[in-house]
Each structure stands twice: as C-alpha cells, then as structure tokens.
Structure 1
Amino acid sequence: MRIASFNVENLDTDEDDKNPMLALRVPVLRGAFVRLDADLLCLQEVHGQELADHTGDRPSRALIALDTVLAGTPAAGFHRACTLTSGVPYNERNLVVLSRYPIVSASQYRNHFIDHLLYRKVTAIPAETDARDVRWERPILHVQVDHPHFGLIHVINLHLKSRLSSNIEGQRAGYAWHSAAGWAEGYFLSSMKRVGQALETRMLIDHLFDLEPEARILVCGDFNSEPGEVPVEAICGRVENTGNPALRERVLISCSRSVAASIRFSHLHEGHGNLLDHLLMSQAMLPYLHRVQIHNEDLHDESLPFTSDRKYPESDHAPFLAEFTEPA
C-alpha cells in the first residue's frame, strides 16, 4: 500500500498575475501523481470552483481543477472525501483524500474537541476592550478506509495554520506592518491557532485509541512545522515528552526518520530545506513500513531575493510518500 501527502499549492482554475494558468499546471501535477502511484492520496490546498448552473440562493461548488488534473490517471476513479461547508467544498484550501479502497466514513473537526478560545488583541488600533473568538481556519479531515489486508485504517489529513502573522486591526497596510509589536502579536496568534489545531488532532487520536487500542492510524499533511516543534511533538505524543511509558502504544512515529537527513525536506525557504510536510503512523503500522520517499528533486525556492511573485507550475511543497507491505 502506498500513501502520499501533497500540498498542491492553490490548485484553482483561475489565473492572475501570480498564479499560472491551470493548463500549465496540469501536465506537471499529473506527472507528480503518476510518479507517486499512490493507493491513498492526502491533498491540501485544493480550491473549489463555483458551478454556473447551480440553483437556489447559495452557490454550489465542485473540485473542477482537481478533476482536470486527475483526468486520465487511475486516481480519477478513486473514492473521495473532502472538507465541506454547507454541504459543498470550501471556496479555497480544501483537504481531499483519494482512496483506491472504499471509504467507510468521513468526518471533519473544527473546534470540536476544543471550544472556541477567547483572546483580546493588545496592539490592535483601536484597542480591543473585549476578548473575541479564535477559531481554526481549516477543519481536520478524518476518513476510515476499508483495506482488504489491513482492515480499517484511520487516515487524518491536516493543514495547520501557516507561519505568516495573523491580521491585527490597524497594524498593517498590505504586507507592511506599522510596528514590530503588531507583527509579533500576529505571529503569536498564528502560533496559537497552529498549536491549537495540533492539540485537537491529538485529542482525536486519543479518542480513536480509546475506542480501538491497536488502531491503524496514518496522519498526513502540511503541518507548517518541523520535527521537534510543538505541533509535531503534540501530535506524536512521544514518551520522552509525557514521561509515561504506559502511553507508548499511543505514540505516533514519523515516517521521515527513514529518509536520509541530507534529503529530508519538503519545502525550501531562503536556500534552506524545511520538513513542513509529514506522514505519521501508529505503532500498529510500523512493522509494515517498507520505504519512504520525498520527491523534492525539482523543488523551487520561491523566497530567494530578486525573484518575482510569479508562481511556478509546480507546487512549492514536495510530495511525501510512504509504502507499506501488506500483511498476509
């Protein structure tokens, strides 16, 4: 069984002064999917497109750009689950799971295990007098897949909050901030959202272990965090952090440990390779792990000085692939 995680970077049908037309992206992304040859695909940043022939007051959306890329590939006929709002895909940055095997159920969680947090911005202009809700921007997508040999597999697809600072009213004009304190508070808010999403993911994982102590769990996605940082550590739940060996069976293991350190990166920023995309597995999956790859040979660094804001047809994230041998 081959499972892959891939942030396809703003997959849409629209073209603007930054994003290339879909026709240029299709052969590049299609080639990436063909190379992955995955049985399970966890995708991030898949935009939804409005349907012109919808009826009723609310617009209807479909994943037209994704369908265009997948056309002619085996994944075009896979079972599918994606994040939804009012019964249709989100306008942008949907999570999608494509599976060769039947999807038994699909659920999404957004402030489900954690109620809304309250926070009062201290550098906002004018100053906030009351605390306001802090919600995650994207849900957690959890699907259950019926595999002919592994049985029920829990697949969790994530896209945690980016490292960019959240908006602070009155503190920025475009990309420029009026004060370092305003930027710092925006960064703090983004960090809180990212860690909060990770905590909610860990609570979901613990809930699954409560129901099924030897659950087969795979957690995939763009964590916007590197190994050793709080979001990754929170989701993994290592004994080194909890200090409780009795929790060992609930520890998730990073598949990236099977990749040589010199090529262990999925994103480039200012010439430095970062591992922001992850694939974690429960202990029940570890005996069957066979091979791990990060397809980063053609990865571009869009942060280098003197480069334009024009995007490449490729994604700025590399696909992450793990292959498991199937139990007899």
Structure 2
Amino acid sequence: MRIATFNLESFGDNRFDRDRLAPRIAVFRPHLLDLNADILCLQEVNAQKKPGQRVRCFAALDALLEQTPYASFHRAHSTRPGESIPADRHNLIILSRYPILERRVLHSTHVHPPHWQMRHGHPAPETVQPVLFDRPLLYAKLDAGLAKPLHVFCVHLRAPIAAPIPGGKVSAFVWRSAEAWAEGYFLASLKHTAQSLDLRLAIDTIFSEDPQALILAAGDFNAGGETNALRLVRAPVEDTGNPELASRELLQLDARIPRQERQTVIHDGRGQTLDHILASRALEAHVRSIRIFNAGLADEVRDAGSIAETGSFHAAVEAEFDFAPRSNPRSG
C-alpha cells in the first residue's frame, strides 16, 4: 500500500479555465502517475464556479485526474467552517482506492479558539477577539482491507508568516512598524500551535478507543522536525517522560531519509522539510520505504514566476507499507 501527500500550490483559478490549467496539468499528471498511490492527501486545491452554478466544485481537480486511476477513487474534501460546501481556496482532499467509512472536517473541534486583544492595529480593537484558524483539518476513516480501519488525517497547518493586523501594512509586503509585524507573527504562531493541538487531541480520541490504532497524519505541516508544533503532534516519549504513553506517539517517517536528501521545499537557496508523513507505532511497524520526490524541485523565491512550468514548489512525499490484507476492496 502506498500513501502519499502533495501540496498542489493553489491549484485552480476562481473560474474554471481548462486552457489556463493545461501547463500545470502537463507537469502534475506524470508526478501523480509516478506516485501510483493507493491513498493520496492533497493540499491547496481550489474550487471553481461554473456558469450557472452557485456552489463551487472541484472542476480543476477533476480535469487533472482525468485519464488517471485517481479519477475513480473515493474522495473526501474539506468544507467551509459550519457549512457543507468547499471553500474557494486551499481545500484539503483525500483520494482513496479504498472505501471511506467516515469523513470529518476539524476546525477548532477539540480546542476553543485562543483570544487576543491586538495592540498595534489601526484602529486597535477595543475588546478581546478570537484568533480563528485559517483552514481546517480533514479526517477520513478507511476500510483498507485490514484487521482494523485506517485513520487518515490530511494536514495543512498555518504558515509561519505574520498574520494580518488592521492597518498594519503600507502595502502587501511592507509592514508599517516592527511592532505590528511582531504582533502579526505572534498571532500566526498562535494559530499554528493551536491547530497542532486540535490535531493532537483528535488523534488522542482515537487512541483512547484503541491504543493500537492505525493512524496516519500527512501533509504540509509548515514545520521542521524539531519545531514545537510538530513535536506537539508527535507527542514523543522523551517529551511526555512516560513510557506507558509510547503507544500514543506518532513517528516521523520521513526522518528515516538522510537530512541532506530530505528537503520538500527550497526557499531562497535553503532546503526545508515542511511536508511530512507521521504514523502511529502500530502502523509504523509495516513501513517498507519512504521517499521524497524532490528531483528538480524549484526555488519558491528565486523561481517564483515559474509556477506554471514547475507545477508546485512542494515535493510529494510517499510511504509504502507492507500488509497482508484480508480483502481487496474495489474503488468506486
């Protein structure tokens, strides 16, 4: 079984335009075929409006998946908070060869939004305001023909870029003051960490029902291996200090790859590992291999204008597992 994650870098315009999509599809489709994944977690999939339709659909994604096995896969997608329709930008998608038994969209599901009163906005709010998450998490329970269901979380955590402050900028990329930038950066970090906690608590609800559950969290964590957010999701024994909690730890599968080969994003000449696959110990026991598809990866700063030719500034990550399934469910 192959499970992969891939950030498609804001794939699809506001309106569906097959001709504008063609260059990126020409790049992406061979990548997806090379992955040959049984389960594929996608981030930054935009939804489009078609003429005469009020609700957005995944027309761009459908065009990408044409003529590939993924076109017939079962599909789960994220939605706007409190609604059943996709957002216009940056949706999460899980494509699965196996039947999807349950789907949930997590948006401050296990944590209350933090509250903060801005001091450096213009005008500055007079009351405390909730710090809402920018995007949800997506969960799916799959029948992969194993003795237990497979629990998959598709993840895209908030980027460590300063969050907007009312009146805090002179222009799109120029801040009015260091104080406004600092407060915005703090708020971004707060969102990032709180969303990581929401994910961790969702994982723990599954472990509470089955300490040996098969759990996988894959996606763009916008965090390296030693950052607080990723450690929070993993809950390593060296941090909890309790060997009895070892079964609740998630293991970072991509850490098996030599550090110099582990980059999933290149930022101004510096390689970073922001995309990860984490697995519970019960699932990690079946790992056969882990691979990052970063050959020819473009630089998101130096090659910023070449997204049509490069497809995405993120590399796909794929893990292969060795199971003895009791059955072979067919895709629908």
TM-score range, shorter chain: over 0.9
User: How far 1:52 sits from its partner (Å)?
Assistant: 2.1
Residue equivalent to 2:55: 60
Residues 45 and 4 of structure 1, relative CA distance in 2, 3 Å threshold: same
Structure 2 Cα separation of the partners of residues 299 and 225 of structure 1: 18
Output the amino acid matched with 2:75: R
Residue equivalent to 2:227: 229
* TM-score w.r.t. length of structure 2: 0.93
Deviations 1:299-320 (A, max 9, x none): 100213xx66453432010000
Deviations 1:41-84 (A, max 9, x none): 00000000113233xxxx21111111111100001100000002
Residue equivalent to 1:141: 138
User: How far 1:14 sits from its partner (Å)?
Assistant: 5.3
Once the two structures are superposed, the pairs formed by residues 145-224 of structure 1 within 5 Å of their partners are 145-149=142-146, 151-172=148-169, 173-224=171-222
Q: 1:82 aligns with which of 63, 67, 77?
A: 77
Residue equivalent to 2:329: none
User: How far 1:244 sits from its partner (Å)?
Assistant: 1.2
Residue equivalent to 1:283: 281
Contact 2:292 2:315 in 1 (8 A): yes
1:300 aligns with 2:295: no
Structure 2 Cα separation of the partners of residues 137 and 101 of structure 1: 30
Contact 1:103 1:146 in 2 (8 A): yes
Residue equivalent to 1:37: 36
Residue equivalent to 1:111: 108
Q: 2:254 aligns with which of 228, 253, 256?
A: 256
Deviations 1:12-43 (A, max 9, x none): 0459xxxx931100111001100000000000
Deviations 1:153-203 (A, max 9, x none): 000011100121111111102211011111111111111001100001000
* TM-score w.r.t. length of structure 1: 0.94
Structure 2 Cα separation of the partners of residues 279 and 265 of structure 1: 13
Find the residue that maps to 2:162 and give its secondary structure.
coil
Output the amino acid matched with 1:198: S
**RMSD, matched Cα:** 1.5
Contact 2:120 2:183 in 1 (8 A): yes
Residue equivalent to 2:3: 3
Gaps of 5+ in 1: none
Structure 2 Cα separation of the partners of residues 112 and 14 of structure 1: 28
Find the residue that maps to 2:76 and give its secondary structure.
strand
Contact 2:5 2:219 in 1 (8 A): yes
Structure 2 Cα separation of the partners of residues 316 and 243 of structure 1: 38
Find the residue that maps to 1:61 and give its secondary structure.
coil
Output the amino acid matched with 2:9: E
Find the residue that maps to 1:285 and give its secondary structure.
helix
